[in-house]
Amino acid sequence: MKQTKVVIAVGARPNFMKSAPLLNELDKFPVFKPILVHTGQHYDSSMSASFFEELKLPEPDIYLGVGSGTHAEQTGKIMVRVEKVLIKEKPDLVIVVGDVNSTIACALVASKLGIPVAHVEAGLRSFDRTMPEEINRLLTDQISDLLFTTCEDANRNLKREGIPESKIFFVGNVMIDSLMHHMEVAEKSTILHKLGLRIGDSLREYAVLTMHRPSNVDDRGVLRGILNVLLDFSRKIPVIFPTHPRTLKRMREFKLNKMVKYRRSFNSAHLDTPDNNMIVIPPLGYLDFLSLMSHAALVLTDSGGIQEETTILGIPCLTLRNNTERPITVREGTNVVVGNDPQIIKKAVGEALEGHVPQRKRPKLWDGRAAARIVKVLRKKFN
């Protein structure tokens, strides 16, 4: 039996959650031979290794180890190194996911080598070309042969951009596959106890903050404004802030780190009262963060994936951006786009805590079966 060799390229934290269901589904069919290539775009334990362990992803077959750098440096390194891999392995298909530098780099190399490319999470658009991710999304979709979408909005975007309908497959959201699969085990996490949020059976009300995009963290005035308004908010309920390495670096560069409490270890973390309950901690693993997010009264974020996860969990979400490539989370979910103006954020936080949030509606096909639909398409195409 001839096997279909499939390279799955991952590089950054969101890729891991989206690839795990795909690998699990491909492994059910001996006709496929998956090869997991990790570019190393995210490379430290908190952003990479722990996710492989918790998602039960196999060790990467190939690790490129590109590390950090400017967009051009990182994308170029990935292209040079992945080209050698694809020439040697000669896969029948390369699957890329999401919108990070690894996505466009691997798709571009595969396309130039004449290898079919499948893009999982295709068609999402913020219509803001100042976002590096928007450029990655647009270019990846133009050179992909199979485009797997999460929503009807994405289908319409692709058709408007001239993508033939025969290449577009509406399959649902693999990020939600991961969430639904891991919810039960995430409930066993001890993170709430470690942070002093759960004492016995009692759960303290709290909010969660994540922030890493350049529009929020690369400008001292913007970052200071967001931190100030949330520090004020933390006098009412605690704000737990798992901090992306990029954000922590900027906070230190701008000398804003003294505004908050940073805990390298939170095994003994406690919440102080009454004046400052913003607790800044290192990045969390997938299961700990899922547990923290699923019990929160409110989530504030500039992450795309968290907008989707809070929609399914029914948690009020304030997106600290001026736009979103996931409008379905606003239209059908619990997401409100508020930008990064401190006064607007303050007003939105108050309204969210008073219960003024959208009614949750589960988007179509966000049911934990997206990976199965993708593999069904691949079986038809390659068998």
Cis status, amide bond into 274, omega within 30 of 0: yes
CB 241 within 8 A of CB 280: yes
Active site residue 181: no
Which stretches within 197-354 are classed as H helix? 214-217, 220-233, 245-253, 286-294, 304-313, 328-331, 342-353
Task: Name the token pair of 216.
Answer: 């929020």
Cβ neighbours, 10 Å, residue 122: 28
Residue 121: strand, helix, or coil: strand
Distance CA 254, CA 26 (A): 46
**In terms of Cα–Cα distance, which of 277, 333, 326 is closest to 305?**
326
Residue 120: strand, helix, or coil: strand
H/E element holding 64?
Answer: none
| Alpha-carbon distances, residue 293 vs 187, 217, 246 (angstroms) | 11, 22, 21
- Beta-bridge mates of residue 199: 202
Radius of gyration for the chain, computed over Cα atoms and rounded to the nearest angstrom: 21
Annotated active-site residue in 212, 244, 270, 295: 212
Distance CA 214, CA 14 (A): 17
Q: How far is CA 134 from the centre of its chain?
A: 14
| Alpha-carbon distances, residue 109 vs 38, 85, 186 (angstroms) | 15, 10, 37
Catalytic residue ranges: 212
